[in-house]
């Protein structure tokens, strides 16, 4: 399998339901993983720990509020493969076009996948839109 879709979660039941819906709409095969953050390490550290210990060509990172339309994963995969790119940003309008809700990246970006010093985009995003 080339693609792994990962969702860190503190609410396993909700995440499993959402992941099943995302899998139905994906339009292609992939490994879909809900990673329960039992230690409350946070989204970034949970994703980084998973990626360090697994080997896929692409990773999709998303949270419990992700929305995937018809063939969302196939479109992203075909675009990255066809254009030889490394990042596909999924944007649902949540942050007024300033930030993608989730993304798909080529594994060559994985060391480290996310900067663990990053805290949050929310204070900065909301102060500019209010």
Answer CATH for 3-129 from 3.90.180.10, 3.90.550.10, 3.10.350.10, 3.40.1190.20: 3.90.550.10
User: Which string of DSSP letters, residue by residue, matches 13-31?
Assistant: HHHHHHHHHHHHHSSS--E
Please list the pLDDT of the chain residue by residue as tens digits (130 residues). 899 999 999 999 999 999 999 999 999 999 999 999 888 888 778 888 888 888 899 999 888 878 888 999 999 999 999 998 888 887 766 656 666 668 888 887 655 555 555 555 544 444 444 4
User: Which string of DSSP letters, residue by residue, matches 62-75?
Assistant: --TT----TTHHHH
Domain boundaries defined on the chain: 3-129
């Amino acid at each position: 399998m080339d693609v792994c879709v990962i969702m860190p979660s503190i609410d396993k039941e909700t995440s499993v339901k959402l992941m099943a819906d995302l899998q139905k709409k994906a339009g292609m095969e992939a490994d879909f993983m809900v990673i329960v953050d039992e230690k409350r390490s946070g989204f970034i550290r949970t994703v980084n720990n998973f990626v360090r210990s697994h080997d896929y060509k692409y990773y999709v990172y998303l949270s419990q509020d992700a929305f995937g339309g018809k063939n969302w994963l196939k479109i992203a995969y075909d675009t990255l493969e066809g254009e030889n790119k490394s990042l596909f940003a999924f944007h649902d309008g949540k942050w007024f076009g300033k930030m993608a809700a989730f993304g798909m990246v080529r594994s060559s970006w994985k060391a480290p996948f996310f900067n663990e010093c990053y805290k949050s985009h929310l204070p900065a995003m909301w102060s500019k839109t209010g």
